[in-house]
Structure 1
Amino acid sequence: MTIGTDAQCFKVGGAVRDTLLGRPVSEVDWVVVGSTPQAMLDAGFSQVGKDFPVFLHPVTREEYALARTERKRGRGYHGFDIDAHPDVTLEEDLQRRDLTVNAMAMTEDGEIIDPYGGRHDLEARLLRHVSPAFAEDPLRVLRTARFAARYHYLGFRVADETLELMRQLSHSGELGTLAKERVWQELQKGLSEQSPQIMLSTLQACDALPALFPEWAEHTGEKLLALLAKSTELNVDCRFALATSALAADSVKKLCTQLNAPKAPSHLAQLYRRVLPLPQADTGNAEDTLQLLEQADTLRRPELIEQLCALESVRTGGDYQHLLNAADAMRAVTSDALIAQGFSGKALGEALREARLQAVSDSLKETAP
């Protein structure tokens, strides 16, 4: 496909980085040098957004961005003037990127273009900023922490000078300009990485967590980070619940509001904090267990009690199969037999709960140690 006579296309960013690391490449981004928006449209590309020079390939739907420079003109991550003139070079485009490992390009025949030492930093296992312009975008603090969580298992760390720039950004007040949705998006991605504890420890180290959520920072210590390190079998909603479990219940609710967290992780985090600690097999009684199952909406949402048990198993190292068995016993009791016996209205509700209480009691006795 021709995009103007002098245009050149280069694979950039994460696709190049992960190719060199031998990691799977999930998506490919391209930069186009020497072209214009009209030339892209004439070639069949569709533009993403009205005023942004990013286009979707008509067949692959991969993103092709015109080479551009960015100049800071105001606070926040939106405060930039963008120049996507055809004269912008590949090196100028790469210079505006956050980390050197993300500032490499690859030609269509596999040649690596690396003007800022990204390949060296890959080998040195360093996450290092490309230029002082790193500090112009507060979102890069969260992005760098996320990359640290992703590549920690390979031995990567944030370079000292980059961590200092992140610290300066945290103290500048610029993090407060970020939209709640963007903060949540980066946190969620970081917590879903292979080493979720590194997301929070990096944000602690550069003073970003205290700047954004002081109370959360106060309760994110070594013990909690160690629990997060053991949470890799849990989904990201569970990891968020675990990461906030040291906060008071009302503080978890406040944090979820501050983050504008989606309903599912917000509900799970608040529920988990309210029901802590879950009863062990030798401490629980039928009434308390039934109340827990009711609070977890077990009849309509059986996955919640499963998530709570998985979380508590990570936190305490205990086995909570007795609660899962009790949940099964509770769900097995239906109103059909009671209706056949003539129960209705309020009496039916009371008899149904009594029957479920008995089923839970029997189940706990069967699994008692």
Structure 2
Amino acid sequence: TDRHRGSQRWSASAGRDGIIHGSPVLKDQWTFIALIYDAPNEQARLIVNNQVFGGRARQRKSNPSTIIGAFNGAMDELKVYNRALSLEELEALYGKPIDVNIEDFAIKDRSSYRRKMEARRNPAVEAGQQFIAGYEELIIRDSVHSPNTLHIFGPGDTITVLGQAGDNWLEVSNQNGEKGYISASSLISNAYRTGKTKSVFRFTNWLGQLFMMNKAWNWFFAALFTLLLAVALKYRKPLNDWFIALGGKAETEASGSRNEGIVTTRKPVILDRYFPVARPKWWIISPGIVFALMLLGGSIWDPAETQWFFNEGARIIPTGFTLAIHWVLWSLSLIIILLILAITAESLHIAGPWAGMLRLAMLLILNLMAVVVCFYLAVGIILVIFGFILFVVALFTLLGRKR
């Protein structure tokens, strides 16, 4: 129970989301209490007698336990189920209809995208399929989950899947008849299907690992991207002029006969007032900056809802939005779309159709670089601040010991 709005109320802890408050506790009366917790969808339902009280709920990682209490009174018929009961099952336990706020009882499945992501990360591998090792070493174990290395398949070796070995593991062999075991995820991450291209496989793998900040090479690429962005921003006007010349766009056009040689200035159009944009300097990479800030801010604010939005919730017409973060992410998404449309209009206007599309492709690549750079800059700033705090703490500790 918890004191709320002037009275002690039946309540359920919602972890990081606070407390779900129910109806007031009535003295000397038996009360039917039921609690449903749906971990994948991060929802809880508290039923007090015939009333439903719902809300979001997430267990704290530091305290993944269930505590029943605390109140002064008696408890009878405590039951714990390993599944969420239906409303009809709860009514059967209660012995009466549950008919107040029943529209809040249903829990919408908002976790299906996670199962889809898992399926994409670990696609089904069937017996008879063949792969080619894409890196220097492909470690083959002597049994499922074993730490012992039985074989090392080298780059170019052909790996044939002999069959499933359980728990996402496979029995495989190479062209020399050497057999062993490897996890399906390791095989897919380090080898590519026959008929595919090695260079494409390694490039997509590199892209997938670009945000792994524990890899030194990724920091080098982040520094390289920063340099390329600085050059592009500094020389954006010469770049614009080059694309204009490439597209054959001129400021004047000839009219009249050749003999007369009359030249008249091209009539200004409304887009000339706005494009190309001269200020601010970072205009051409603004979509990437906004997108990076959107990801960073969302990950700090609410990682679970940010993940849901980008995998399932993002759409032009908002549906299923229940929290403030959904509307903030949706608004920023619209801003990014408008910025990309503006950059597209600018490219086509100043450089013409095909040269404009070429300029747009360049800007999209620069914006992807901007996303990476913003992430690494943010992490770098956090590391510097954390390092400074540690330095100050160590300095004060050292001075204290000397005194």
Query: TM-score when scaled to structure 1?
Result: 0.24
Larger Rg over CA atoms: 2
**Which has the larger share of strand?**
2
